[in-house]
Structure 1
Amino acid sequence: MATSDEEKTLQEELTLSILLADRVIKLVRDSESSKQECLDIAEKVENLSQMLRSAARAAATTQSIYERPVRRIVEDVAKNLDRALTLVRKRKHNGVLRQVFAITTTADYRKVASLLESSIGDMKWLLSIFDSDGANLSLPPIASNDPILSWVWSYIATIQMGQLKERVDAANELASLARDNERNKKIIVDEGGVTPLLKLLKEGSSPDAQIAAATALFNIATDEERVRFIIDALGIPMIVKVLGDSPMRVQAWVVKLVSRMAEIDAVAQEEFARENVTRPLVSLLAMDTVLDDPQVQSGRTSIHSIVHQELLGRPPPNNNTHLSLSTTSSFSSHHSDGSSRGGHYRKERELESPEVKLKLKVGCAEALWKLSKESLTNSRKITETKGMICLAKIIEKEDGELRLNCLMTVMEIASVAESCPDLRRAAFKTTAPAAKAVLDQLLKVIQEETNPALQVPAIKSIGCLARTFPARETRTIGPLVAHLKDKNVDVATEAAIALEKFVCVENFNCVEHSKAIVEFGGVPPLMVLLRTDGRAQMHGFVLLCYLALHVGNSKALEQARALNALEGARSVVAQHPDLRELFTQAVHHLTLYQAGAHPHRS
């Protein structure tokens, strides 16, 4: 049974082409014709035969051969040899039509000769790839209409078969091509560039090589299809391994790749979770955070002693000490999974510049943010690796992009916890030290920050966790109410959304929270919000409806003429029909308690 083209080895492909060339040569020699065109064909085929044999020897002795251009070119050579065989057979035709054939094949000879000449050019280029230490940027005829193809072939071949310096240069060239446009990315993937880049990343032959490979993969992984290609090439275990044990400047690029893949594809999120990528990320994020514990002697539990307990699983020291989180994190990683990740480069990391360390921490925080978004698995793993206390500490002490990314991570975990009671109870129980530390920092941001980019994720986080707060816990209500009158409409809107979650009927403590909102003076700014447009008005409307349901007899609602305000905002219901029932109930309650305020009774 014949072997299909897909099942043929490269040596089989080359052997078949060599045999085909030999048949053409033999047919010409056996022919009585001495026509010059026929002899020229035979000469070109002889040249191709020698090149094919050289390619077969090179393929047999090359340890890691890049097959894609070899197969493409050999396949094209075989087609042209088959055309030559068909043409030479015509010369052997006898009979009355021989003169006709002699006339019609003159043009055919020229065409076949031209095709064979192109195949010779392709084979010369192919053999130069085997012989060259660097990328061959000449243009083979097969790629004459698409120069990028020959460049990609050359660079991939060099990454797979070249010397280290040339491999680094070739990977950087692929990174540059991938950055240029989508078509280049597609060609690199289609021509098999992902696997050699992953291999270069994994080998650890030099930091420069790993950075070049990670950069190229980062530039390639810009849509779901290409991210899936990296996953299918078993790239995620390699990426996680490199992240766990590489120099910091390499890790800084690898975390960017993790972040991008997780952001683009939910499958990548789960695959990273399976490889437990959150553990090295949390460990790296926590490095060099100095834990100064001034409260130990007074017997009070501080955030620093909590970190000792959480990361090491043992009581904090009894004296005033300074401990680097990088030490505890490394211990935790080693103790938890039995690996020595990070151990090879510990001394090098201690000497690394603050700029590189900050870049790495910013990248780790962003990666945790993207991994946790809508992912229960990763959100749970971050909390299980004691990541919450680490995030709280950084939000407390750091600023800029690092602080923002940590806030975004907390927000995404809180968002997942909102619809997952088990995670909510495990990670955000208000009496748990780690949860308390996070909540304290969120409230501090809400109360003290003036940057909306930081305020919004903190407010969203508190809103997502509304069901975790008991009725007596009112310290979260006041800061949210204060932001109902924020000059930034986005901040005010997010505050209204968060308060909605405190007073919605699904919240067991909705009545007590509604009373707290009124007591903190939430009604007057809510009336102002109701007079705005769009999203702010809609959420102000919903919040007012819930207050009407739960505390409809409130003096504050009566004084604010809440019933008139709701009637005046009836257009919101027209735009959002799903709010009709809530609106009807709210009007009914206010009518019962504040009949004198109803427009029909005024």
Structure 2
Amino acid sequence: MDPLIFQFNQLDHHHQQPPIDQILSLPIVLSDRILHAVDDTKSYKLECADVGKHVDRLSQKLRSAVRFANSTPSFYERPFRRIFTDVAKTLNRALILVRKCRRRSIFRRFVTIVGVADFRKLFSQLDASIGDVTWLLSVFDVDGESGGIADGGGIVLSLPPIASNDPILSWIWSYIASLHLCALNVKIEAAHELSSLSRDNDRNKKMIIEEGGVSPLLKLLKEKSSPEAQIAASMALFNLANDQNNTQVIVNEHGIPIIVQVFRNPQILVQIEVAKLIARMAEHDSVSQEGFARENVIGTLVSLLSFDMLIDDDLGKTNKFLKKGIRSIVEINTQVERSSITCCDYSNKRGKKEPQDLIIEFKTNCSGALWMLARGSIANSRKITESKGLLYLAKLIENGNGELQVNCLMTIVEITAAAEYNPDLRRSAFKTNSPSAKAIVDQLLRLITESDNPVIKIPAIKAIGHLARTFPSRQTRVIGPLVKQLSHKNLTVGTESVIALCKFTCEENFLHAEHSKTIVEFKGLPPLMNLLRGSERIQYHALVLVCYLAMHDGINEPFEQRRILTALEGAENSVACRYSELRELVAHAIHHLKILS
């Protein structure tokens, strides 16, 4: 096989792209062959000569573009690859057509059919190729005449023929090329434009990533001399990282160490945007969660969330432990990570001069990042508890409101959910005599009792449910607020309370019998019976709790026993029959009640 044909066939091999040198050289080799073939033509000589003129003009532009690429240390390859590949395909068609015009035998003349229409189509394709390469030269200002990117000019937005049906592609190429080669102010503008495009739709995000936009954005993010550049890059990367695949591209470009390093920058506006980026990446990708944890970003977040707690003079008994905890985290961070403490120290200094609303926004985004890092991760939840994070989260829940309070509360929900199924974490973080555990429980019970907002109340109920195995039988103060919520006008609140109480009374809870008696003593049966008339979901969970109470000798009054027995017998033929595990549980409870009676 002709080596040139082999190279050309490689252009359509999508799994492994040819080296850029091969991409750049192939069209020039093809153009030289066409010019030689034109001299040998016997038919359509005028048309072939015109082809030669087009190809010669195209060849000169190609050579200029190649000289630029070879003289630029890190030029932006993507538009070169795409355009040179398309040009090579057009030149290959031209070479085949010109070769058909060489008269070698009567048979070849007979089987080779070439018409004027073939040349018209080829001229159109060659003109498009010339237009595409001309666009490349103008955007990168290869000749130093147009004030383009390579000449230090601004972003060049024009439309090459290759992007005539998709103008966004040429814009993306121009913006990314500007990130590679332009002055800093133009790079910032380009990052903002890419951010705007990525907000529009997922297709734009995909194109920006496929065309190599992540790497130069990460490089811009490292621009220590310009917080504005770091903010622009953070915002663009945030908008791109909207799913697992896009997030993994950032990870694969070694973005996590860069992001964490920038996050420790003492510029609060930069930290706000980078915290959003950390949260977004951790939300969509477990690999990112692990990567950020390895870089100890959790310790940094905890330090930043706690920076102004040292200057609070009005702390109660629980908050004295907070002061002790903050000193501990400072000592830990001094040993483990000096850069994190530097950031924390700077934050302490700036706490008195930064506007309060900016501090709240800063803490809100830090807490949001901590939430996403904890979500579904036992390892990260443990890191938070080991960093004394529970103490600071309790304080922020106590004094915060709005999104900041919700983020901290949801972080606690994730940590308690991890502790529910991990005995080691449960024992280490939520020991009965632990000041941090006591502070968290106090705040959760306060929210359950005092808050009228289901957005706050429901997570607090869930967290208490996750901790059900940590409470001793004598700590009845936890059961009472949950029982009270069974009568809440918001049915979701009532349902979540039922689910939480089920975790106190299930067989897996060693103290299920004692907790069952406590629920009955707090008059939990009447509102629970009312919930049996609710939706199927409410009925399901209410039936489970009723069965647990009945089976654990929690119901002593004969009247209540008869009432529960009647309800269970009715449920056995309705909602319970649709769930095998519930049907079995109801049957056991009915059998137990009949024995008692």
Is 1:573 the equivalent of 2:576? yes
Bigger mean CA offset, 523-532 vs 82-91 = 82-91
| 8 Å Cα contact 2:561/2:593 also seen in 1 | no
Gaps of 5+ in 2: 142-147
**1:124 paired residue number:** 134
Hey, what's the Cα distance between the residues in 2 that align with 1:110 and 1:592? 97
Matches within 5 A, 1:247-258: 247-258=267-278
Quote how far apart the aligned CAs of 1:271 are: 2.4
Is 1:87 the equivalent of 2:109? no
Secondary structure of 2:339 counterpart:
coil
**1:180 paired residue number:** 200
Matches within 5 A, 1:248-397: 248-293=268-313, 302-313=317-328, 332-339=332-339, 342=343, 351-397=353-399
Is 1:216 the equivalent of 2:216? no
Quote how far apart the aligned CAs of 1:23 are: 2.6
Bigger mean CA offset, 218-227 vs 116-125 = 218-227
Cα gap change, 1:549 to 1:88, in 2 (>3 Å): same
Is 1:586 the equivalent of 2:589? yes
Hey, what's the Cα distance between the residues in 2 that align with 1:534 and 1:223? 34
Quote how far apart the aligned CAs of 1:365 are: 1.3
**1:22 paired residue number:** 32
Gaps of 5+ in 1: 296-300, 314-327, 596-602
| 8 Å Cα contact 1:484/1:526 also seen in 2 | yes
**1:473 paired residue number:** 475
Cα gap change, 1:553 to 1:187, in 2 (>3 Å): closer
| 8 Å Cα contact 1:17/1:78 also seen in 2 | yes
Is 1:52 the equivalent of 2:54? no
**1:204 paired residue number:** 224
Bigger mean CA offset, 180-189 vs 107-116 = 107-116
| 8 Å Cα contact 2:513/2:554 also seen in 1 | no
Matches within 5 A, 1:100-139: 104-131=114-141, 132=148, 133-139=153-159
Task: State the AA in 2 paired with 1:555.
Answer: E
Hey, what's the Cα distance between the residues in 1 that align with 2:103 and 2:346? 75
Hey, what's the Cα distance between the residues in 2 that align with 1:76 and 1:182? 26
Is 1:521 the equivalent of 2:523? yes
Task: State the AA in 2 paired with 1:308.
Answer: K
| 8 Å Cα contact 1:552/1:589 also seen in 2 | no
Bigger mean CA offset, 407-416 vs 260-269 = 260-269
Task: State the AA in 2 paired with 1:89.
Answer: R
Hey, what's the Cα distance between the residues in 1 that align with 2:259 and 2:115? 58
Quote how far apart the aligned CAs of 1:548 are: 0.8
Quote how far apart the aligned CAs of 1:95 are: 4.2
Hey, what's the Cα distance between the residues in 1 that align with 2:113 and 2:424? 86
| 8 Å Cα contact 1:292/1:304 also seen in 2 | no
**1:70 paired residue number:** 80
| 8 Å Cα contact 1:282/1:387 also seen in 2 | yes
Give the aligned CA root-mean-square deviation in angstroms. Answer: 2.6
Hey, what's the Cα distance between the residues in 1 that align with 2:112 and 2:551? 99
Cα gap change, 1:98 to 1:538, in 2 (>3 Å): closer
**1:169 paired residue number:** 189
**1:504 paired residue number:** 506
Hey, what's the Cα distance between the residues in 2 that align with 1:445 and 1:394? 13
Cα gap change, 1:479 to 1:349, in 2 (>3 Å): closer
Hey, what's the Cα distance between the residues in 2 that align with 1:349 and 1:88? 76
Secondary structure of 1:203 counterpart:
coil
**2:145 paired residue number:** none
Hey, what's the Cα distance between the residues in 2 that align with 1:306 and 1:344? 20
| 8 Å Cα contact 1:48/1:120 also seen in 2 | yes
Deviations 1:346-386 (A, max 9, x none): 56676433222211211111222222121111111111111
Secondary structure of 1:139 counterpart:
coil
Secondary structure of 1:104 counterpart:
coil
| 8 Å Cα contact 2:256/2:291 also seen in 1 | yes
Bigger mean CA offset, 92-101 vs 411-420 = 92-101
Secondary structure of 1:134 counterpart:
coil
| 8 Å Cα contact 1:417/1:423 also seen in 2 | yes
Hey, what's the Cα distance between the residues in 2 that align with 1:449 and 1:217? 37
Hey, what's the Cα distance between the residues in 2 that align with 1:57 and 1:351? 54
Quote how far apart the aligned CAs of 1:459 are: 0.8
Share of identical aligned residues, percent? 52
Hey, what's the Cα distance between the residues in 2 that align with 1:556 and 1:397? 47
Cα gap change, 1:45 to 1:390, in 2 (>3 Å): same
Hey, what's the Cα distance between the residues in 1 that align with 2:303 and 2:426? 23
Secondary structure of 1:339 counterpart:
helix
| 8 Å Cα contact 2:41/2:103 also seen in 1 | no
Hey, what's the Cα distance between the residues in 2 that align with 1:384 and 1:208? 35
**1:412 paired residue number:** 414
| 8 Å Cα contact 1:307/1:390 also seen in 2 | yes
Deviations 1:502-558 (A, max 9, x none): 111111111111121122221222222223222222222111111111125512863
Deviations 1:311-365 (A, max 9, x none): 323xxxxxxxxxxxxxx75x75443224355279656676433222211211111
**1:240 paired residue number:** 260
Matches within 5 A, 1:453-492: 453-492=455-494
Is 1:439 the equivalent of 2:441? yes
Bigger mean CA offset, 105-114 vs 419-428 = 105-114
**2:144 paired residue number:** none
Deviations 1:1-42 (A, max 9, x none): 988664643234323322322232234356688933223222
| 8 Å Cα contact 1:293/1:304 also seen in 2 | no
Secondary structure of 1:431 counterpart:
coil
Hey, what's the Cα distance between the residues in 2 that align with 1:505 and 1:104? 86
Quote how far apart the aligned CAs of 1:89 are: 2.6
| 8 Å Cα contact 1:247/1:349 also seen in 2 | no
Bigger mean CA offset, 352-361 vs 494-503 = 352-361
- Pick from 3, 16, 20 the counterpart of residue 10 of structure 1: 20
Hey, what's the Cα distance between the residues in 1 that align with 2:187 and 2:488? 56
Bigger mean CA offset, 54-63 vs 120-129 = 54-63
Task: State the AA in 2 paired with 1:592.
Answer: I
Cα gap change, 1:242 to 1:8, in 2 (>3 Å): same
Hey, what's the Cα distance between the residues in 2 that align with 1:172 and 1:475? 53
Hey, what's the Cα distance between the residues in 1 that align with 2:560 and 2:96? 98
| 8 Å Cα contact 1:245/1:343 also seen in 2 | no
Task: State the AA in 1 paired with 2:581.
Answer: D
Secondary structure of 1:473 counterpart:
coil
Task: State the AA in 1 paired with 2:337.
Answer: D
| 8 Å Cα contact 2:485/2:497 also seen in 1 | yes
Quote how far apart the aligned CAs of 1:278 are: 1.3
Quote how far apart the aligned CAs of 1:125 are: 0.8
Hey, what's the Cα distance between the residues in 2 that align with 1:90 and 1:538? 79
Hey, what's the Cα distance between the residues in 2 that align with 1:35 and 1:270? 67
| 8 Å Cα contact 2:499/2:541 also seen in 1 | yes
Secondary structure of 2:552 counterpart:
helix
Bigger mean CA offset, 202-211 vs 145-154 = 202-211
Deviations 1:279-332 (A, max 9, x none): 22222222323553567xxxxx8333322322323xxxxxxxxxxxxxx75x75
Quote how far apart the aligned CAs of 1:58 are: 1.2
